[in-house]
Amino acid sequence: MVSTTTVGTLWLVNQITFQQHTQSIFGGLLGLTKRSIIHNDLDTKNVSNLLGIPIVVTPMAEANLGWVDEQRLLQGQTLIDSLNNKEGINVSTILTANDNTYVLHGVFKDFRTSLIQGAFSLIQDELSTGNNTIERLLENIRTELDLDMRVMPKTELVSLRPYFDYAQVPHHYGHYDISGNVGRFYSYFPKIDKVIEVGPIQFKPELPMQSIFVVVVLAIILTGIAVYWLVYRFEVGLQKLERASTRVASGHLNSRVKVGSDDALGRLGSAFNKMAEQIQHLMGVQKEMIRAVSHELRTPVARMRFGVQMLEDTTEDAYLQKQLKDMDQDLQELDELVDEILTYARLEEGGPILEFKETNILELIEQIGEETKRRTDKVTVTIGSQTQLEEQIFSNIEYRYMHRAIQNLVGNACRYAASNVHIEYSCHDDICRIDVEDDGEGIPKKDWDRVFSPFTRLDDSRTRSSGGYGLGLSIVQRIIYWHSGRAIVSESRWGGAKMSLLWPKNDQGNPN
């Protein structure tokens, strides 16, 4: 489109330049006839014969001109009615005589023949009056027609003498350059025994470099605007798609892309929306199933626990008491599993309602440490901190969920530790960090990326004997995600596992 516009503009500039050139030449040629026409009382017969074209003088009021053309003539411009008329080129200019305004109209059949023959004929007519010398006459014509004219020196006439017989005025001899666009013309005037040269004349003027430069610059600007518009439109569409993808990835499955076109980007947006709808549907079915199963399990579990407790109260048999106690423990674990599943499902639903408040992280860790010590005497739990400044101890968190996350990490460490669990808090560059280390067997490096996946158990030892359902660390990861942070695994100082939580100190929750 831009290329077509550029070519069209260059063609238009070329046409305008050629028209202006034609107006200048023929307007000047008609202008040279005005004095003779006025001298002959507006009789155009003599100049018509000289130029070999029909010339008519019409009063302005009878010329049947439009208002625009009339104003152009009054301003001294020349009218070119048709450059492609097969009958000739219609040229009109203004003529003022006896305080009246007329339109001088001529039809030039051929640009080159009419121009050259007319110029030589007018020179011959003026010479016949004897009022001007050849030098003054050529100067006047040069001014009117903007043509180069000169009397040929005798030293240059040697090559032209063979043409004198058939190149006598008003006839002429022409010599063109290789392009055929530029010519020099010669005519012999016997009365003064001189050869007059007209030229060089460029019949189709080339586009000026300034015009070409302006058109090229405009083309580059238009191309830049078009490319910028296309890239900007494409970039905006991709940004919308990126934002929607990010929101879907963060759990907001109802996010959609606004489709406003039928192009490739619009079709991509439609395909994305269909994909998001399908994912939302499948996730909804899965969550509803998990929620329904979990809730349905709680009622029979509660009834079974009630029955077991009643049996414990009605028997004194030691063996039966042990079996009932084991059954009660199994039911307790099943109840905890249902609670874990429901908690994980809530965290996966696209963002729980979180109430962030400024909290003393050290006090929270100390509280979890005390709670852990009361539940187990298997390991020694220690707490440390490299941060003592009050402004670094406090952080915006959702207390209930962060308590659950840290408690899960500490409980997991106690489960697999040999004898020691250490909790360390630090805060640098407004990033809070909690490390929970144990001195157990550790986690193989190849499994570090899998430990946060739901229902993941890395080896057979981490089964019922050691407790856990494979959801604790998954819950930790979702909680820290909603705090705009992340959970990572590494090796502790004792060779065991080291679980770390990192989150922004002044976070207000994941905005997605």
Burial class (CB in 10 A: 0-12, 13-18, 19+), 407: middle
| Mean pLDDT score, 378-397 | 85
- pLDDT at position 488 is 92
Residue 66 has pLDDT above 80, yes or no: yes
d(CA 26, CA 71): 19
Residue 460 has pLDDT above 50, yes or no: no
* Residue 77, helix vs strand vs coil: coil
Burial class (CB in 10 A: 0-12, 13-18, 19+), 15: exposed
- pLDDT at position 9 is 63
Give 512's pLDDT tier (boundaries 50, 70, 90).
very low
Contact (Cβ atoms closer than 8 angstroms) between residue 275 and residue 257: no
Instruction: Report how far apart, in Å, the C-alpha atoms of 28 and of each of 33, 81, 101, 325, 469 are.
Output: 9, 16, 18, 123, 104
Residue 39 has pLDDT above 50, yes or no: yes
| Mean pLDDT score, 296-304 | 75
Each residue's pLDDT tens digit, 341-372:
676 666 665 555 678 889 999 999 999 999 88
pTM of the model: 0.44
Residue 462 has pLDDT above 50, yes or no: no
Give 11's pLDDT tier (boundaries 50, 70, 90).
low
Bigger pLDDT: 465 vs 9: 9
Residue 194 has pLDDT above 90, yes or no: no
CA dihedral 453, 459, 462, 465 (to 10 degrees): 150
Residue reference for tokens 């499994």: 447
Residues paired with residue 499 on neighbouring β-strands, in sequence order: 436, 489
* Residue 94, helix vs strand vs coil: strand
Each residue's pLDDT tens digit, 434-456:
999 999 888 888 888 888 877 66
- The percent of residues above 70 in pLDDT, for the chain, comes to 76
